[in-house]
């Protein structure tokens, strides 16, 4: 469990990755006291970026249900297909979950969220 309260952290700063669906709850627990979490593309198993797997949807839903802001950094969403790029556009105005191109953009959004 993360001992630091508040603020925004990256998943790698917490010493975690998301290799599978089972890790979502662990990540949520580690981030629970934070003001927001940044997950970078490299932190995710490639299956998360395949929308057919449903893993990214599970991640988004879990964080939304717990009202914890989540920024997923994917520099080029179109690289993962048109549906992924569409998902990034659809979430551009979402209150709790965003797909952003850089860690800096993620930090800026989370500072306002």
- Work out the percent of the chain whose per-residue pLDDT is above 70: 96
Give burial (CB, 10 Å; 0-12/13-18/19+) of 63. Answer: buried
Model confidence pLDDT, tens digit, residues 64-85:
999 999 999 999 999 999 999 9
Residue 39: what pLDDT? 98
Q: How far apart, in whole angstroms, are the C-alpha atoms of residue 102 and residue 72?
A: 9
Indicate the pTM of the whole model. 0.93
As a CATH number, domain 8-112 is 3.30.750
CA triple 104-105-106, angle to 5 deg? 90
Tokens 């879990």 belong to residue:
62
Instruction: Break the chain into its structural domains and give their ranges.
Output: 8-112
Asked whether the predicted pLDDT for residue 2 surpasses 50, the reply is: no
Q: What is the chain's alpha carbon radius of gyration, rounded to the nearest angstrom?
A: 13
The neighbour count for residue 60, using CB atoms within 10 Å, is 19
Model confidence pLDDT, tens digit, residues 78-104:
999 999 999 999 999 999 999 999 999
Distances (CA, A) of 92 to 8, 15, 70, 96: 19, 27, 12, 10
């Amino acid at each position: 469990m993360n001992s630091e309260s508040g603020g925004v952290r990256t998943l790698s700063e917490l010493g975690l990755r998301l290799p599978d669906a089972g890790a979502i709850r662990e990540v949520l627990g580690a981030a629970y006291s934070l003001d927001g979490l940044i997950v970078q593309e490299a932190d995710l198993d490639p299956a998360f970026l395949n929308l057919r797997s449903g893993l990214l949807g599970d991640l988004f839903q879990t964080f939304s249900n717990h009202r914890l802001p989540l920024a997923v950094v994917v520099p080029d969403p179109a690289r993962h297909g048109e549906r992924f790029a569409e998902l990034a556009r659809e979430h551009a105005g979402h209150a709790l979950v965003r797909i952003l191109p850089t860690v800096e953009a993620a930090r800026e959004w989370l500072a306002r969220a």
